[in-house]
Structure 1
Amino acid sequence: MDVADIRKNVKILEGGIPYTVDDLEFTKPGKGRAIYRVKLRNLIDGSVIDKTYHSGEKVDEAQTTYRQEQYLYKDGDHYVFMNTETFEQLFVTEAQIGNKKDFLKEGTLVDMLMFEDSPIDITLPNFIDFEILESEVAIKAQTISPQLKSATIETGAVIAVPTFINVGDIIKVDTRTGTYVERINKK
Structure 2
Amino acid sequence: MKISGVDIRPGNILEYEGGIWKVAKIQHTQPGKGGAFMQVEMKNLEDGRKTNVRFRSADTVEKVRLDTKDFQFLFADGDSFVFMDQETYDQITIAEKLLGDEAAFLQDGMQVTLEMYDERPISVQLPDQIEATIVEADAVVKGQTASSSYKPAILDNGVRVMVPPHISSGTRIVVDVYAKEYVRKAD
Report the TM-score when normalising by structure 2: 0.90
Shift of 1:180: 0.2
1:95 to 77, 97, 100: 97
Shift of 1:111: 1.5
Identity of aligned residues (%): 32
Name the structure 2 match of 1:116: 118
Q: Does 1:66 align with 2:68?
A: yes
Are residues 13 and 142 of structure 1, via their aligned partners in 2, closer, same or farther at CA, if it must alter by over 3 Å? closer
Name the structure 1 match of 2:43: 41
Aligned-partner Cα distance in 1 for 2:109–2:158: 16
Aligned-partner Cα distance in 1 for 2:161–2:36: 46
Partners of 2:6 and 2:56 within 8 A in 1:
no
Name the structure 2 match of 1:11: 13
Provide Cα deviations, 1:109-159, integer angstroms capped at 9, x if missing partner: 111111221212111211111122222333333425433222222222111
Q: Is the partner of 1:137 in helix, strand or coil?
A: coil
Q: Which amino acid aligns with 1:179?
A: E
Name the structure 1 match of 2:56: 54
Q: Which amino acid aligns with 1:154?
A: D
Aligned-partner Cα distance in 2 for 1:142–1:28: 51
Partners of 1:105 and 1:155 within 8 A in 2:
no
Aligned-partner Cα distance in 2 for 1:153–1:142: 23
Partners of 1:80 and 1:89 within 8 A in 2:
yes
Structure 1 unaligned runs (5+)? none
Name the structure 1 match of 2:171: 169
Q: Which amino acid aligns with 1:29?
A: P
Shift of 1:22: 0.9
Number of residue pairs matched? 185
Q: Say which is worse superposed, 165-174 or 139-148, in terms of deviation.
A: 139-148
Aligned-partner Cα distance in 2 for 1:142–1:57: 57
Q: Does 1:129 align with 2:126?
A: no
Name the structure 2 match of 1:26: 28
Shift of 1:166: 2.0
Partners of 2:115 and 2:124 within 8 A in 1:
yes
Shift of 1:50: 0.9
What is the root-mean-square deviation of aligned Cα atoms in Å? 1.7
Report the TM-score when normalising by structure 1: 0.90
Name the structure 2 match of 1:105: 107
Provide Cα deviations, 1:160-185, integer angstroms capped at 9, x if missing partner: 11122122211011112110011124
1:152 to 154, 158, 169: 154
Q: Is the partner of 1:59 in helix, strand or coil?
A: strand
Are residues 32 and 146 of structure 1, via their aligned partners in 2, closer, same or farther at CA, if it must alter by over 3 Å? closer
Structure 2 unaligned runs (5+)? none
Partners of 2:6 and 2:55 within 8 A in 1:
no
